[in-house]
Amino acid sequence: MKKAAFFHKIDRKKVQCVLCPHKCVLLPDQKGICQVRKNVKGDLFTENYERLCSVALDPIEKKPLYHYFPGKNILSIGSVGCNLKCKFCQNFEISQSNVDESPYLKSYTSEEVIQFARHEQNNVGVAYTYNEPIVFYEYVLETAKHAHENGLKNVFVSNGYINPEPLEKLIPFIDAFSIDLKGFTKAYYEEMCSGNLEDVKKAILQIKEAGKHIELTNLVVTDVNDQESDFYEMIKWIANSLGEETVLHISRYFPMFKFKNLPTSHSKLKILFKIAKQELDHVYIGNMRTDSEQNTYCPNCDSLLIKRSAYEVELMGMDQGSCIKCNTRVMNYA
């Protein structure tokens, strides 16, 4: 356990966590919605500090990041807990668990993680992922600082449900963000995820304004957030607020946790892909094999730049992030 970085004491007993927009008010021995922050004798502690349930070397495409060091690996770490309660969570065994219940947790110091990361092949850095890294914030920050000191990159894979001040302190140490934009209606975030759309939009804008690399993922849940009109509203907001060059991953849902609707159909994903392509240069379909919707094409001359099949990556028409044929800049990192 470690004392939490963001909380206020309300009185001698009560504390308020201000890490995420829930702003949980907790009495002694009470835990927050995330299940991993606890009031211990009038102070707030993070219970999952240095407790990891997954440490694995993944292709960076799996985060998903398609425009950040394509073809490289990234050491990926995750713990337990989440500050949202998505009924369809695809990772619920760890995200909806806690340190008392999870059988998978092992102790790792941030130095140990960096030692692993330094010795892995073709590895670009450390990704904070699997469960929601906001809820192991203090450990992320500490590890990310060590990573930078060792010349490694940091990737934050998140639901974006974080307050502006902790995000501001985190941003300098994170090189690339993969953020879920789960839907585009207030009701969807409230009813399906127990969160708030406006707070997520605010965090996305804050990351963009800080000049960080950001890619968005929209999980399309059958009959729930797959209305084309709402989807188009989201696409217009992305194009107008973040830029038409913003990378969007449209991801296939499978029945999981409390939600049993059928998996997203291939035809629905292809329709949404076409809608997104009206406004955005780089749209990909994830969690499904496709002929071409995982490839990267030059937005100017349409040359094939990266061919992808599952997590196999073939760099073709690109040099140092620019199209070889017309020299259009496509990504910041080759």
Identify which of 195, 190, 247, 178 has the alpha carbon closest to the alpha carbon of residue 82: 195
Beta carbon of residue 220, minimum distance to ligand SF4 (angstroms, whole number): 26
Closer to ligand SF4 by Cβ: residue 61 or 132: 132
Beta carbon of residue 89, minimum distance to ligand SF4 (angstroms, whole number): 15
The whole-angstrom separation of Cα 176 and Cα 180 is 13
| Residue labelled with tokens 């934050």 | 156
Beta carbon of residue 160, minimum distance to ligand SF4 (angstroms, whole number): 13
| Contacts with ligand SF4, residue ranges (CB under 6 A) | 17, 19-20, 22-24, 32-34, 37, 83, 135
Beta carbon of residue 98, minimum distance to ligand SF4 (angstroms, whole number): 11
Closer to ligand SF4 by Cβ: residue 39 or 76: 39
Beta carbon of residue 217, minimum distance to ligand SF4 (angstroms, whole number): 21
Closer to ligand SF4 by Cβ: residue 138 or 226: 138
Q: Which two tokens stand for residue 26?
A: 């907790």
Burial class (CB in 10 A: 0-12, 13-18, 19+), 211: exposed
Closer to ligand SF4 by Cβ: residue 23 or 260: 23
The whole-angstrom separation of Cα 22 and Cα 230 is 25
Our separate counts of H helices and E strands in the chain read: 8, 21
Q: How far is CA 244 from the centre of its chain?
A: 20
126 within 8 A of 118, measured Cβ to Cβ: no
Closer to ligand SF4 by Cβ: residue 37 or 63: 37
Q: Which two tokens stand for residue 118?
A: 């330094």
Closer to ligand SF4 by Cβ: residue 64 or 166: 166
Closer to ligand SF4 by Cβ: residue 95 or 251: 95
Cα dihedral across residues 140, 136, 238, 215: positive or negative: positive
Asked if omega into 64 is within 30° of 0 (cis), the reply is: yes
Q: Closest residue to ligand SF4, Cβ-based?
A: 32
Beta carbon of residue 43, minimum distance to ligand SF4 (angstroms, whole number): 13
The whole-angstrom separation of Cα 68 and Cα 107 is 30
